[in-house]
Chain A
Amino acid sequence: MADPLIRFREVTKEFSRPDGVGTFTAVDRLSFAIEKGEIVAVLGKTGCGKSTMFNLLAGLIEPTSGKVDVAGHDPFSEFNAFRGKMGIVFQNDRLMPWRTALDNVVLGLEILDAKRAEAEIVARRWLARLGLSGNENDYPHALSGGMRQRVSIARAFAVEPDILLCDEPFSSLDEMTARDLRAEFVRLVKQAGKTAVFITHHINEAMDVGDRIMVFHRPARIAYEARMDAASREGSGRQAIQDEILKVLSLETGEGMPAAPVV
Chain B
Amino acid sequence: MTLNPRLRQFLQAVASMFVLLAAWQIASFFFPYYLFPPVQDIVVRTVRILVNWPELKQVLETAMRIFIGLAGAFLLGSLLAIPIGRYPKLESYITPFLVFLQGIPALSWVIIAIIWFHGTEFRIAFIMIITTLPAFTFQVLDSYRSMSKDLFEMTMSFRPSAWTLFRVLIVPTILPGILTAWKINLGNAARVVVVAELVGATGGVGYELLRQQQLFDMAGALAWTIQLVLFVLVVQQVIVWVENWLLRYRPVSERAA
Contacts and interface: CB of A to CB of B under 8 A. Distances in A.
Asked if A pairs with B, the answer is: yes
Interface of A: 55, 58, 60, 79-80, 82-84, 86, 88, 90, 92, 94, 96-99, 107-108, 110-112, 139, 141-142, 159
B159 A88 contact: no
A60 B158 contact: no
A83 B164 CA distance: 13
A60 B149 CA distance: 11
A96 B151 CA distance: 7
Given A98-B249, A111-B158, A159-B158, 5 more contacts: A88-B154, A96-B172, A107-B158, A108-B158, A111-B159
B251 A111 contact: no
B232 to A, nearest CB: 28
Interface residues of B, number: 18
Interface of B: 150-151, 153-160, 164, 168-169, 172, 247, 249-251
B159 A83 contact: yes
A141 B157 contact: no
B249 A90 contact: no
Contact of B157 (A60, A92, A98): A60
11 contacts: A60-B156, A83-B159, A84-B159, A90-B154, A94-B154, A97-B249, A98-B249, A107-B158, A108-B158, A111-B168, A141-B249
Contacts of B153: 55, 60, 90, 94
Contacts of A84: 158-159
Contacts of B150: 90, 92, 94
A107 B168 contact: yes
Given A94-B151, A96-B151, A107-B168, A58 B157 contact: yes
